[in-house]
A and B are shown apart, each in its own frame.
Chain A
Amino acid sequence: MKEDRTMSKFKLLTDGLVKNNPTFVLLLGMCPTLATTTSAINGLSMGLATLFVLVLSNMAISLIAPVVPDKVHIPVYIVVIATFVTLLQFLMQAYTPAMYETLGLFIPLIVVNCIVLGRAEAFANKHGVGESALDGIGVGLGFTCSLTVLGLVREILGSGSAFGWSFTGGADGMLAFVMAPGAFLCLGYLMVLFNKFLKKNS
């Protein structure tokens, strides 16, 4: 029995990473995915910022869900999420001002990220604190990994560097990959690879 429960807890974590990967399988949160992944570092920080909000809001919502009247549950969830986003915004402004400048508008936009509200609606209001936290970590990590990979591929092709470390000796990459069309192209091909990999392993 105990083993079964640890198995399911482990499954909560990995589901968000692979089977329900928010970016490559569910196609949620496309706006930050396409807009902020100009480099691996940017993708990673956007992912971690979302992870932070996701875990905290999942936990808070799972705690307050029983007492929230059904009619107003979405506004209440949004207020909870917005609180954590504001918190994150102040934290980033204080400790990582450069990253705060780069991500700019996309930090406050985490409030309307459909992954966060989606997990609150679909998971956190029906489960306990611990499980909701694990789910938040799983999905958040899935989002972070996808954004980092997407950012890495776009950075390698677009600027000829990886995590800010240039390997082309100053030569430019293919600029299209830093711009919007490259984001769509890379996302599409990565999705193909991811689904092929999933199919093979299932």
Chain B
Amino acid sequence: MEKLLVSPNPHIHAPVSTKTLMRDVIIALIPAVICSFVFYGWREILVMAVSVASCVLLEWAITKYMLRKPSTIGDLSAVITGILLALNLPYTTPWWVVMIGAVVAIGVAKMTFGGIGQNIWNPALVGRVFLLVSFPTYMTTWGTPQGVVDAVSGPTPLGAIQEGLMQGASVQELTSAFNYKDLLFANLGGSAGEACALALLAGFVYLCCRKVIKPWITLSIFGTVALTSLIFWGIDPSRFTDPLFNLLTGSLVLGACFMATDYVTSPMSLWGGVIFGVGIGFLTMMIRYFGSYPEGVSFAILIMNSVVPLLNMWFHQKKFGRK
């Protein structure tokens, strides 16, 4: 900041910097992180520690030894990438798989493009999708939350439904196994961040109140998911799951609140953000209903990330005084 040139007018200095914004995001993630620790026990703490430590160390090493620039780890964005990556993995993931995910997230998705502000895709999601494609066995062995007791692996709700549908069962029979209170307050198999939707929503409300993020992207994702699944569910309730189930399962809440709203990889304007959110919601539902993977939030966000430069071009901010 000292290098900034001094210009003649008196200026008001706002205390907001990348660091303070990122600190707020970390505060907002704390409830979800604590929930994941409570539900999944010490192995989740291990995954989280390995993920954050390797993301930060890697960014430091790359800036110091490869780019030879001042280190950017002080802005805390690598910490967030690490937390989000850990929340996107099942807690049974071996530590070396987590490290590979961190290498892909920071090394490939972020630093190759030039570090913070330059990356096209959300680093944590790139890491997760890479692991999902590379290590399908580790990435789809979900433990059900058992606290510190030995884990039993079980399918995620979405996975169970996809499996059941293939065997010819109807959606009503399958969804009756889950009640919505469980979905909202956790106790289901899945990635660590899917543990408790309520904790994630609390973080989202905090971020909106602190004006760190604008709510429209998240809300348009929720709206589109609800609307799309309402239409399909209305047409054939025995083949398609209902809106509430779709809103609460999978990593939709985590993705919509924390991944899609990432500053660097989301559109800047209001309408750009709305279209971005609608695209994510619609693609997610299409992948869930018709795709070969049971869950599609991460793919949907990455696909829409690639459209962001275009959206920024179409809906760029009107200059002051222009019509």
Whether A174 is near chain B, meaning CB under 8 Å from some CB there, is yes
Tell whether, in the assembled complex, residue B133 and residue A181 are in contact, meaning their CB atoms are under 8 Å apart.
yes
Q: 1/0 per position for A111-147, CB-CB distance to B under 8 A?
A: 0000000000000000000000000000000000000
A176 touches B133 (CB 8 A): yes
The docked-state distance in angstroms from the alpha carbon of A185 to that of B133 is: 14
How far apart sit A179 and B129, CA to CA, in the bound complex (Å)? 13
Which of B100, B130, B137 counts the most A-chain CB atoms under 10 A from its CB? B130
Rounded to whole Å, the gap between the CB of A183 and the closest CB of chain B is 13
Minimal beta-carbon separation of A185 from chain B (angstroms): 7
Closest to A181 in B: B133
Total A residues in contact with B, Cβ cutoff 8 Å: 9
**Complex contact A175–B133 (CB within 8 A):** yes
A158 closest partner in B (C-beta): B134
A185 to B103 alpha-carbon distance, docked (Å):
13
Contact B108 A176 (CB under 8 A): no
Bound Cα distance from A174 to B129, whole angstroms: 12
The answer to whether A185 touches B134 (Cβ under 8 A) is no
Q: Mark B251-278, 1 if CB is under 8 A from A, else 0.
A: 0000000000000000000000000000
Q: Contact between B108 and A174 (Cβ–Cβ < 8 Å)?
A: no
B196 to chain A, nearest CB (A): 30
Q: Is the beta-carbon distance between B108 and A179 smaller than 8 angstroms? A: no
Min CB–CB distance B111 → chain A (angstroms): 12
A177 to B130, CA, bound (A): 10
Residues of B within 8 A of A172 (CB): 135, 137
B321 at the interface (CB under 8 A from A): no
Q: What mask results when residues 161 to 200 of chain A are scored 1 for a CB within 8 Å of chain B, else 0?
A: 0000000000011111101010001000000000000000
B contact residues around A179 at 8 Å (CB): 133
Q: Most chain-A Cβ atoms within 10 A of its Cβ — which of B108, B133, B134, B136?
A: B134
Query: A174 contacts B100, CB within 8 Å?
Result: yes
Question: Considering only CB atoms, which chain B residue lies closest to A192 in the complex?
Answer: B112
Interface string of A33-72 (1 = CB under 8 A from B): 0000000000000000000000000000000000000000
Asked if A175 and B134 sit within 8 Å, CB to CB, the answer is: yes
Question: Within the assembled complex, what's the spacing in Å between the Cα atoms of A174 and B134?
Answer: 5
Cβ < 8 Å to A, chain B residues 125-180: 130, 133-137
CA distance A23 to B134 in the complex (A): 26
Chain B residues, Cβ within 8 Å of A173: 134
Contacts of A185 in B (CB 8 A): 108
**Smallest CB–CB gap between A156 and chain B, Å?**
14
Give the residues in chain B near A175, CB-CB below 8 Å: 133-136
Chain B residues with CB under 8 A of A181: 130, 133
Q: How far is the CA of A185 from the CA of B135 in the complex (A)?
A: 17
Q: Give bound CA distance, A172 to B137, whole Å.
A: 10
Q: How far is the CA of A173 from the CA of B108 in the complex (A)?
A: 18
Residues of B close to A177: CB separation below 8 A? 134
Q: Tell me the bound Cα distance from A172 to B135 in angstroms.
A: 8
Q: What is the minimal beta-carbon distance from A158 to any residue of chain B, in angstroms?
A: 8
Residue of B nearest to A174 (CB): B134
Per CB-CB distance, the 10 closest pairs between chain A and chain B, nearest first, are: A174-B134, A176-B134, A176-B133, A175-B134, A176-B130, A175-B133, A179-B133, A185-B108, A174-B100, A181-B133
Chain B residues at the A interface, C-beta cutoff of 8 Å: 100, 108, 130, 133-137
What are 8 sample pairs from A and B whose C-beta atoms fall under 8 A apart?
Answer: A174-B100, A174-B130, A174-B134, A174-B135, A176-B130, A177-B134, A181-B130, A185-B108
